[in-house]
Amino acid sequence: MASKKPNEMSNEELLKNEKTLKLVITMGIVAAVLMLAAGIWLTIAKQKFSALTAVPMSMGVIVIVNANSLKTIQKEKKSRGLL
């Protein structure tokens, strides 16, 4: 499924996507922090490196991409006067 650009979306789709992206970003940050904490704890407890500490770094990229999409949607909302 190809996603539409924000300028091609209806007002309802724009608002729905903004709400969804906010939830996805929040959940991604929470999951990354929990995995980072678990990875650090496992590294200290077992006295050897745990691969779990590297996963939150890759999740950070996904969060950044979603945050940029959210910014684009918010700019489009502002240009349409949907504040």
Give 2-29 pLDDT, tens digit per residue. 578 888 888 899 999 999 999 999 999 9
pLDDT tops 70 at residue 43: yes
- For residues 83 and 17, give the distance between their C-alpha atoms in angstroms, rounded to a whole number: 15
pTM for the model stands at: 0.84
Mean pLDDT of the chain: 89
Judge whether 5 and 14 are in contact, CB under 8 Å: no
- pLDDT value for 34: 92
Domain ranges of the chain: 10-80
The per-residue pLDDT for 1 is 40
**pLDDT band, very low/low/confident/very high, at 79 (cuts 50, 70, 90):** very high
Do residues 73 and 7 lie in contact, with contact meaning Cβ atoms separated by under 8 Å? no
